[in-house]
Amino acid sequence: MSETFKAIKVTDNVYWVGAIDWDVRNFHGYLTSRGTTYSAFLILADKVTLIDTVKAPFFDEMMARITSVVAPQKIDYIISNHAEMDHSGSLPRTIEATKPEAVFASKMGQKALDAHFHMDRQITAVADGETLDLGNMKLTFVETRMCHWPDSMVSYLHERELLFSQDGFGMHLASYERFADELPRDILDYESAKYYANILLHLSTFINKTLKKIADLGIPLSMVVPDHGPIWRKKEDIERIIGSYARWAAQEPTNKALVVFDSMWGSTAKMARANGEALTAGGAIVRLMSMNVCHRSEVVTELLDAGAFIVGS
């Protein structure tokens, strides 16, 4: 029996029409032990608008979800917030199936999409701060370069106070639950930290600039909807994830020491344990990780807030 894919209501006139990837375990070398989602969103405005698409193998799932609420041919606009293949891989087939009036991306996004696909269809570049009239709603585009690609931008739906944040504030987590408040807090905290550490940590200078840029806009945020993982819809959850990003981007060390080692015959392991015991006696919180059993993405996650990093080999 085949699975029936339905759109999930995010708020009035906005639907999640993405895909769930239960099986992926390697994402750019990052261990995605809980799978992931590729989110796309449908706005049922006067000008029906699709925000992002999904990884190419999941095109049919996305189209089935779209069809559950509107005929795909009624889509007027497509917005590409980010040109990476997990979000734009289905774009050429989506354009072919829907024949939209226009496809929008940032200036760098336009270049990236043209380079990827060599499409005959013209991509319209939007400027930082530009607003698109959807008839009874408005979308404003904000460039967030290097969060985490040069083309990255976010889109803000004024009438719903909703931020389509592309890869920002997301995580790799497959689930039928679409909202963060439906999931365990410990999983949310770990997977969001793991995502930041492995995808965005080296871009923290740009993340700081983006956080300030969004704050300076003075826009109310009733929801933050990323392209991976669950949607943040509760005020306390939105404040928590934004606060976490600010803390991680500041790269302020904590009283944690990370001891990472590899040992062929056990001598380095003994030294690692001795270091761990000494650090613990000195008041540090210690994480001891053997590369024989720990994946590098798990190590990087623990490194996110470590004040000391010791390597033995």
pLDDT at 235 over 50: yes
Buried b vs exposed e over 3-25: b needs ≥16 C-beta within 10 Å?
eebebbebbebbbbbbbbbeebe
Considering the candidates 21, 61, 143, 167, report the single residue annotated as catalytic: 167
Q: Is 23 a catalytic residue?
A: no
Dihedral, CA atoms, 208, 211, 214, 219, nearest 10 degrees? -150
Active-site residue, 237 included: no
pLDDT value at position 202?
A: 95
Catalytic position from the list 28, 46, 60, 239: 28
Instruction: Judge whether 228 counts as a catalytic residue.
Output: yes
Asked if the model's pLDDT at residue 121 lies above 80, the reply is no
86 catalytic? Reply is yes
Q: What is the pLDDT of residues 69-101, one digit of tens each?
A: 999 999 999 999 999 999 999 999 999 999 999
**Residue 67 amino acid letter:** T
pLDDT at 1: 36
Percentage of the chain beyond pLDDT 70 is 99
pLDDT for 297 equals: 97
Q: What pLDDT band is residue 181 in, cutting at 50, 70 and 90? A: very high
State the average pLDDT for the chain: 96
Active site residue 84: yes
Choosing from 84, 143, 227, 237, which is the catalytic residue? 84
Superfamily assignment of 256-312 in CATH?
Flavodoxin domain (3.40.50.360)
Write down the catalytic residue from 30, 172, 227, 228: 228
> What are the boundaries of each domain within the chain?
8-250, 256-312
Q: pLDDT for 1-58, tens place per residue?
A: 357 899 999 999 999 999 999 999 998 889 999 999 999 999 999 999 999 999 999 9
- Active-site annotation holds for 189: no
| pLDDT given for residue 254 in this prediction | 95
| pLDDT at res. 29 | 85
Question: Hey, what CATH topology would domain 8-250 get?
Answer: Metallo-beta-lactamase; Chain A (3.60.15)
Residue 14 to residue 7: CA distance in whole angstroms: 10
Q: For residue range 276-307, what is the model confidence (pLDDT) as tens digits?
A: 999 999 999 999 999 999 999 999 999 999 99
Q: How confident is the model at residue 219 (pLDDT cuts 50, 70, 90)?
A: very high
Mean pLDDT of the 97-107 span: 97
Cβ neighbours for 273, distance < 8 A, ≥ 6 positions apart: 288
Q: Chain centroid to CA 13: how far?
A: 22
Span 130-155, mean pLDDT?
A: 96
Coil, strand or helix: which one is 230?
A: coil
Confidence of residue 232 (pLDDT cuts 50, 70, 90): very high
